[in-house]
Amino acid sequence: MSENLPNPQQAPERTDNSASGRAREAGSERVKDEALLERVAANDQSAMAEFFDRYGGLVYSIALRVLKDSGHAEDLMQEIFFQVWKKPESFVPGRGSLGAWLAVVTRNRAVDVLRRRKPDDPVDDVVLVSKTNLASEVERSSMMEKVRQVLDSLPVEQQKSVELAFFEGLTHAEIAAKTGDPLGTVKTRIRTALISVRKAIQA
Amino acid sequence: MTAGEHIPQEDLALYAMHSLSADESAAIRAHLETCAECRAAVAEYSGDIALVALSVDQHTPPDGARERLMNRIAADAANPESNVVAIDAKPVNKVYASIQWSLVAAMIVLSFALLLKIGSLRIEMRQQAALIQQQSAQTARAQQILDLLTSKSAQHVALTAAQAHPQPTGRAVYLASSGSLYFQANNLAALPAGKTYELWVIPASGAAPVPAGLFQPDATGNASVILPPLPTGVPAKAFGVTMEQAQGSATPTAPILLVGAAAGE
């Protein structure tokens, strides 16, 4: 079954990198995402294989960055994809891109695992505003470079706060205790960093 | 915060990032149920979080991960009893339907909680298994050292300096059947920069000397080599120590600084 499915990573590289080309591609991929989820909802196992081929690397990479252990990262990846299989309606088309939704759910779940927090927080109600479509490798790679540039350009204190909160999973109170900075300062730095990323991408 | 007030933007950002305490998150969650404006702000921050998550280095999932997922899905598909939601087609009155849908919603939430709990438990089990494996390996190593030192079959060899003034000494305990070797040296001269001592097992068969580990003496000239990787079943007629380049050598370089013949060989 799954062995016969095409692997998107082996697909011919796209050469149209113009803005209009990317827009067409993003729109096309968004439609494919929605169609894919409809097939998943219809218990089409081959659709899950395609879904994994498209987003497995993204989910695994984020889980690995936070958990720093390949075994734990795969466990989390498996759980997230299995949840999509069991409940594909968790993602509501039109609220944002599927890739962005997966990125947030993965990052938040990984932090929950780090903190051994009870997994009954309603993060599966994640709703996000995202104008980016991460289904395309080209779009994803381009966006990754932009975000990295923004993060690298942030003041060191902001970078450190984002690292501790985002990837180390510390609460703002833990960050304040660790760095010796006031709570309000930590909060402002984290929000400012997020806004900086948003503005840079929207620019 | 009082009724009608909005949550500060900083707190909404932290809420979206799961960077608040459980109590703080619960308070904001309650507010979000009735505040569309704050919900919209959280959605915006979640979009930002997706972007930051994108900045990570990309890795390919481990070999077999896709197959493991598909096997799990196939097993789930083959067992309809495991489906989260059961659809009841029978007509029901409005109140009863409301209760039913509440129950279904509760079951969905419960099922999610259970699925995620299973994931957490699997991760804990993996950590425990790794710890047990590490402790087992340490126990096995300690037992191997004990077997070597107490074995009546082990060869006990005293090594002395090959030079005229044999202040440096070495002592090797070797069990050919298991390839186990314990070596202790004393009064060794300090090494020049870029050099190391190398221990050699000289086979009784006349074959080429077998490298048995690199070592450097401490400040008092003492050093040891414990259970280096060696082939099994190689009886030794002697042991030797040479000085080699820091990365070691495949064959000993003259002169031999310490040498000792194995008893009975």
Label residue B204 by pLDDT band (50, 70, 90).
very high
Strand partners, B184: B171, B224
Q: What is the pLDDT of residue A88?
A: 84
How high is the pLDDT of residue A135?
A: 56
Q: What confidence score (pLDDT) does residue B162 get? A: 65
State how far residue B24 is from chain A, nearest Cα, in angstroms: 11
Kindly report which listed range (A21-25, B102-106, B201-205, B260-264) carries the lowest average pLDDT score.
Answer: A21-25
Report the pLDDT value the prediction gives residue B72, as an integer from 0 to 100.
92
pLDDT of res. A130: 60
Interatomic CA distance for residues B9 and B32, integer angstroms = 13
Contacts of A145 in chain B (CB under 8 A): none
Is B47 within 8 Å of A128 (Cβ atoms)? yes
**A1, A128, A146, best to mutate vs chain B, most B CBs in 10 Å:** A128
Architecture of domain B1-52+92-150: Orthogonal Bundle (1.10)
Residue spans per domain, chain B? 1-52+92-150, 155-261
Cα of B116 to nearest chain A Cα, Å:
6
- 8 Å CB contact of A144 and B55: yes
Residue B163 vs residue B125, higher pLDDT:
B125
Is the minimum CB–CB distance between A122 and chain B shorter than 8 Å? Answer: yes
The DSSP output letter for B17 is T
| Region label for A81, one of left (φ > 0), alpha (ψ between -120 and 50) or beta (otherwise) | alpha
Cα-flanking dihedrals φ and ψ of residue B205, to 5°?
A: -75, -10
Half-sphere exposure at residue A73, Cβ-oriented, CA atoms within 13 angstroms:
21
CA distance A174 to chain B (A): 9
B212-239 mean pLDDT: 91
pLDDT confidence tier of residue B2, bands split at 50, 70 and 90 = very low
Q: What is the pTM for the complete model shown?
A: 0.54
Q: Which of B54, B76, B117 sits opposite A144 (nearest CB)?
A: B54
Q: Give the Cα separation of B212 and A173 in Å (integer).
A: 53
- How does pLDDT run along chain A (203 residues), one tens digit per residue? 333 322 222 223 333 444 444 444 445 555 578 888 889 989 999 999 999 999 999 999 999 999 999 999 999 999 999 988 988 887 766 666 788 888 988 998 999 888 876 554 444 555 666 656 555 666 777 888 888 899 999 999 999 998 999 999 898 899 999 999 999 999 999 999 999 988 888 77
